Structures are given as structure tokens and as C-alpha cells.
Amino acid sequence: MMTIAKDRGGRPRLGFGGAHLRRDAAHHSRAYSRFVGLMKFLLPTVALALIVSILVWPQLVGREEGSFRFSFADLERDPDGAVGVTKARFAGTDSANRPFVVAAERALQKQGFDVFALTTLQADITLADGTWLSITADTGEYERARQLLTLGGVIDIFSNVGYEMHATHAVVNLATGTVESAQPVQGHGPLGAMRADTMKYTAEGKRLQLTGGVRVVLNTRSQG
């Protein structure tokens, strides 16, 4: 039964009204907290969905030169709010219809919608002279619009003609098929071993340019 009591000032008050108000306030506070928590989760997810849509859109409408495909396993958001994906795969062809694939354990949006920071990545590309390269690196940055792949950390480059090179920095132009490094590189193959302070390989002319502290050791083989 509801009773009417008076407060210290002599004003009437409902016996259970204060408790109801406190419960209602607590309920609304919990509901608001849940809403805020939900928005913190949904807004970055929606933003990432928009990014993915923009990345995927070119493959739906087509491009005049080359093609592009993008896929991933899961969406994620790091502590500072940046959005990214796991098991990312960028695949396409250049203007000469040469295929390339860039795969990474993690791809994080860095600038706008076209630049991704990559970790633990592998790239497979076909050069203009038909040479196939498989490249692995600890870290990288992929610029989709310019088709540039900048690599860092431990970099290993292997070719289907028996050559391999190792570096700590390299830039791969997926559009033109050039590979260059402004830092020391070393490698070896059927003809011997080499090292240099910088390197640039141009597929169009099948030209490998080495500069600074160049050392080449050729293999000598007897002819039967």
C-alpha cells in the first residue's frame, strides 16, 4: 500500500517514489552506457565497410587499364581507432595485362582509402621480360592508385631464373615492373654473387644497375 509521508520541510512525498526514481535513473544510465558502447563499436565498423566498398567498387565497374581485386578474412580496429583487415589480398594486372598479387597478414588503413600499411607480406609479380619474382618482407606500404609497394625489414627476392637478392629496403613499381633499393643489397645466382650500396632493376631492358661499393664474384666452371 502506498503511504504519504512528509519530508523535513513538511512537504508531502510518496512513500515509494524516491526508490522508483532512483531505479529509473539507474536503468537509463545503464541503457545510455550500452548505447555509447555500441556506437563505439559500430561507427568504426561502418567506416571500414565504406573503405572496403570503395576498394571493391573499381572491380565492379571495371577500369580502362588493368584490373584489381581485393579480399580479406576479418575486419579489425586497433586501439587508436585505425581500421584494417587481416589476411589481406590485393590482386590485379598492370596496363600490359601482367598479373601481380600482394598478400599480407594484416593491412591497416594509413591515409585515405588508397594507402595501406602491411605486415608480414608476400608479393608475386611478373615482369615485362617474363621473369617471375616472389618477394617477402616484414613490413610494407601499398599505394593502390600508384601501384607502388614500399618494403622494409628483412626483404628476400627470388626469381624463377635462379637469382635471389636480400635487402632491408626496396620499392617495387607494380605498374612498370621495376625494383630498386637505396640501401645495401646482396644476392647470388647461377653466374655468381654480388653486393652493392644501391640497386635498380628495369625489366623492360633487362638491366640491373649496381652502384656504390659494388663487388661481383663470378662462378668459374670448366667446360667438358
Measured distance CA(153)–CA(170) in Å, rounded = 10
Q: Which residue has the higher pLDDT, 41 or 150?
A: 150
Q: How confident is the model at residue 1 (pLDDT cuts 50, 70, 90)?
A: very low
- The total number of structural domains that make up the chain: 1
- Judged against a pLDDT cut of 60, whether residue 163 lies above it is answered with yes
- Judged against a pLDDT cut of 50, whether residue 188 lies above it is answered with yes
Is residue 132 situated within a structural domain?
Answer: yes
Is residue 48 situated within a structural domain?
Answer: yes
Is residue 188 situated within a structural domain?
Answer: yes
Beta bridge partners of 57: none
Report the CATH number that the domain containing residue 70 is assigned in CATH: 2.60.450.10
Is residue 22 situated within a structural domain?
Answer: no
Render pLDDT for 106-143 as a digit per residue (tens, 0 to 9). Answer: 998 876 667 889 999 999 998 877 888 999 999 999 99
pTM over 0.75: no
Range of the domain at 78: 40-218
Is residue 18 situated within a structural domain?
Answer: no
Q: Which residue has the cell 621473369?
A: 131
Render pLDDT for 69-103 as a digit per residue (tens, 0 to 9). Answer: 888 888 777 777 677 889 999 888 877 788 899 99
Please answer whether residues 169 and 162 qualify as being in contact, where contact means their C-beta atoms are separated by less than 8 angstroms.
Answer: no
